[in-house]
Amino acid sequence: MRAVRVTKAGGPDVLEVADVEPPAPGPGEVLVEVGAAGVNYIDTYQREGIYPMDTPYVPGLEGSGRVTALGEGVDGVAVGDRIAWAETLGSYAEQVVVPWAKAVPVPDPIADDVAVGALLQGMTAHFLVTDCRPLNSGEIVLVHAAAGGVGLLLTQLATAGGARVIATTSTAEKAELARGAGAAEVIDYTQVDDLAAEVRELTGGTGVDAVFDAVGRTTFDASLAALRKRGTLVLYGAASGPVPPLDPQRLNAGGSLYLTRPKLFDYIDGTEALRARADAVYTEVAAGRLDVRIGHRYPLEQARTAHEDLQGRRTTGKLVLLPS
């Protein structure tokens, strides 16, 4: 079968399409024909070696497709069923073996690319605003990179919960998308000298209740400075690079601030938690209350271009690879 393969850590050019042996499902696993593989920022961290990987490997943690064979002892799913997954390496391929306990059923009205667009990024947006920093109606939050995969979903969920979203984006087109997702105000953070001052002005000098920041190095200081007293900074990624070590005294000086650095996999810990969260997101999508924007569909051969576009800030919404 065709798959993307990485033989050494490096830039996007280490992503090569190769013919590899198709996998076979072991006990508790299912074989899937991949309909769409999700491209996520974590794939770039793994490719670059920021998260060390054993090589060679087939990248991609996320996908959606149809079950074609069952391993021993698999119960509750049949050949032909549609499933999706968000934590199974090897998804940039025509076929992948997925542990059934790490998979979720996909409701029929949801297409493969949308199922993928809603899963890792959708569950991330969901855990951030429901469990990590539950939002109350009337709260004001700052969402960075609001036209991105997570950003658009997070903005919609926060707005639906009654929060007022101040968004940041880097272009007018992205600003328009953020507004469409519900952002009340959008700041082009590439054009302002003092982002925190802009945010304070929009909040009558008070600052925001929470900041959702996955940009990291370039936004971190402004994010802290934009918080109200006892506000929370949710640092959930590092698209611009990792944040340097921090003196906790800064949280004191900023007004008894809270800082958390969460990851999705701690919030979908176990099959029940995973399926409950996926179901919550898919229910919103199927009901038309959560719009999943597929920013770009690439053939498997263009995985390299997908990574370049993602890291080059040229994308909006979800990127998917289509194996066939």
Residues that bind ligand NDP (CB under 6 A): 40-42, 120-121, 124, 145, 147-151, 169-170, 174, 214-215, 218, 236-240, 262-264, 310-311, 313, 315
* Least distance in angstroms from the C-beta of 127 to ligand NDP: 8
Q: Are the CB atoms for 15 and 59 separated by under 8 Å?
A: yes
Angle at alpha carbon of residue 217, lines to 216 and 220, rounded to 5°: 65
HEC states along 75-92? CCCCCCCEEEECCCCCCC
Please, which residue, 74 or 175, has the CB nearer to ligand NDP? 175
Q: Which two tokens stand for residue 9?
A: 């850590």
Please, which residue, 5 or 144, has the CB nearer to ligand NDP? 144
* Least distance in angstroms from the C-beta of 137 to ligand NDP: 25
Task: Render 199-255 in DSSP notation, one character per residue.
Answer: HHHHTTTS-EEEEEE-S-TTTHHHHHHTEEEEEEEEE---TT-PPPP--THHHHHTT
CA distance 121 to 141: 19
* Least distance in angstroms from the C-beta of 116 to ligand NDP: 12
Which residue in the shown chain puts its C-beta closest to ligand NDP? 148
Please, which residue, 170 or 271, has the CB nearer to ligand NDP? 170
* Least distance in angstroms from the C-beta of 172 to ligand NDP: 11
Type of residue at 80: G
* Least distance in angstroms from the C-beta of 194 to ligand NDP: 17
Neighbouring residues of 204: CB distance < 8 A, sequence distance ≥ 6: none
Please, which residue, 103 or 150, has the CB nearer to ligand NDP? 150
Q: Are strands 140-143 and 258-260 parallel, antiparallel or unpaired?
A: unpaired
Please, which residue, 41 or 92, has the CB nearer to ligand NDP? 41
* Least distance in angstroms from the C-beta of 135 to ligand NDP: 17
* Least distance in angstroms from the C-beta of 231 to ligand NDP: 19
Please, which residue, 31 or 147, has the CB nearer to ligand NDP? 147
* 35 exposure class (CB count in 10 Å sphere: 0-12, 13-18, 19+): buried
Please, which residue, 82 or 126, has the CB nearer to ligand NDP? 126
Please, which residue, 20 or 322, has the CB nearer to ligand NDP? 322
Question: What phi, psi does 94 have (nearest 5°)?
Answer: -70, -35
Neighbouring residues of 89: CB distance < 8 A, sequence distance ≥ 6: 57, 58, 59, 60, 61
Q: Are strands 140-143 and 103-105 parallel, antiparallel or unpaired?
A: unpaired
Residue pointed to by tokens 């490997």: 57
* Least distance in angstroms from the C-beta of 235 to ligand NDP: 9
Please, which residue, 95 or 124, has the CB nearer to ligand NDP? 124
* Least distance in angstroms from the C-beta of 21 to ligand NDP: 30
Q: Which two tokens stand for residue 11?
A: 């830039």
Rg of the chain over CA atoms, in angstroms?
20
